[in-house]
Amino acid sequence: MHHSTHFLMDEYGETLGELWGALASVKHYPRPIPRNDGTPEAKRARRGVVHTGYVHSAGIQVSSSNPEDRNHSSPGGSEGSTGYTETKPTQELPAEDNALHLINRVLRHLLYYTQPLNASPVLDLRQKCRMVSQISELKKQFVAVDDGGLILRVEGGVSTGPHIAIALLEAKRRLVVDDNKPRISDECLAQMTCEAILARAIPAEEQLGNERTIVLNATSHYVCFLEFNVTKAYMRRLMAGQLPSESLKVTATHWFDLSAVEGRRGVLNNIRGLLGMAMDRQPQQDVISDSEGVED
């Protein structure tokens, strides 16, 4: 049974009820019709386009311990097999806005219960942001728009200091699957890399100063944390219109499934790590973690 958000909020409290409601909205989209041959359908003008390696997220079987699924077993089937995607009309796919709504509800709940009341400074959510950087030597302007993020905000009184950027948020509609395991597409990684680089180009007083950019990638009900190590030397050469001589190092966790207890625990551990990094305002050895647990 699909309970209303109003019912869930009354049953579990405001923030947790909204979280369960958002999770249900993402998971209860119509499943694709199973195909036996795995052959993509012919392309037609302005219809769904087949992308090799993309799979409708609803076709991936995952365990769930949220209240929506307690009395239901996971259906079996061959949906989510590697190498093809079902062609679906756009209106039947889980909207990117739904994935963004879910991760925002998750972050809101975790930030509220992992920080003392009336804390200052406080780790807080921000709205989506448009970042622009002009490289005069190349006569080029680079633009990136994220889906929100986490900032360190000073509460109480009038603060003249800027908010400190802690992490960016990027939400996507479709999950890429290889060998029955989710992965980040090259296109999505390129987009997040651009965002990470431009985030290092903002004024120094709005950064932690540890040469890191953290990006939360939310796709359907899965979350992955990425850490981009964008050094000062890399930024100097780039802003001078030169090709950086060093590679840009990226570290990523595995995908955390928000419908499973261990997945939610993994997200919680990483948010705690970000909170500690923000409060210390110093580089941490391990900002992101693949640790899992069994707590709700």
Q: Give me the DSSP letters along 268-294.
A: HHHHHHHHHHHHHTS--S-SS-----S
Pair (123, 248) in one structural domain: yes
Dig out the tokens for 113 from the structure.
């219960």
Mean pLDDT of 251-269: 93
Pair (79, 118) in one structural domain: no
Domain hosting residue 85, numbered range: 5-92
Band (pLDDT 50/70/90 cuts) for residue 295 is: very low
Q: Which helix (DSSP H) or strand (DSSP E) does residue 23 occupy?
A: helix 14-27
C-alpha dihedral, 248 to 253 to 259 to 260, nearest 10°: 180
Pair (101, 88) in one structural domain: no
Residue 295 within a domain: no
Q: Is the pLDDT of residue 90 over 60?
A: no
Pair (69, 174) in one structural domain: no
Pair (191, 53) in one structural domain: no
Which of helix, strand or coil describes residue 208? coil
Range of weakest confidence among 37-41, 50-54, 210-214: 37-41
Q: pTM value? A: 0.67
Q: How many CB atoms are closer than 10 A to CB 81? A: 14
Question: Which has more pLDDT, 45 or 213?
Answer: 213
Residue 287 within a domain: no
Helix, strand, coil percentages in the chain from 3-state DSSP, rounded to 5: 30, 20, 45
Pair (125, 225) in one structural domain: yes
In the prediction, which pLDDT does 217 show? 95
Mean pLDDT of 42-67: 41
Q: Is the pLDDT of residue 46 over 80?
A: no
Of 257, 251, 289, 284, which is closest to residue 270 (Cα–Cα)?
A: 289
Residue 294 within a domain: no
Does residue 223 contact residue 216 with C-beta atoms inside 8 Å? yes
Pair (144, 270) in one structural domain: yes
* Count, residues in the chain: 296
Q: Is the pLDDT of residue 265 over 50?
A: yes
Q: How many CB atoms are closer than 10 A to CB 231? A: 15
Pair (71, 104) in one structural domain: no
Question: Which has more pLDDT, 134 or 40?
Answer: 134
Alpha carbon 57 to its chain centroid, in Å, reads 15
Pair (102, 120) in one structural domain: yes
Pair (217, 275) in one structural domain: yes
In the prediction, which pLDDT does 254 show? 92
Number of domains in the chain: 2
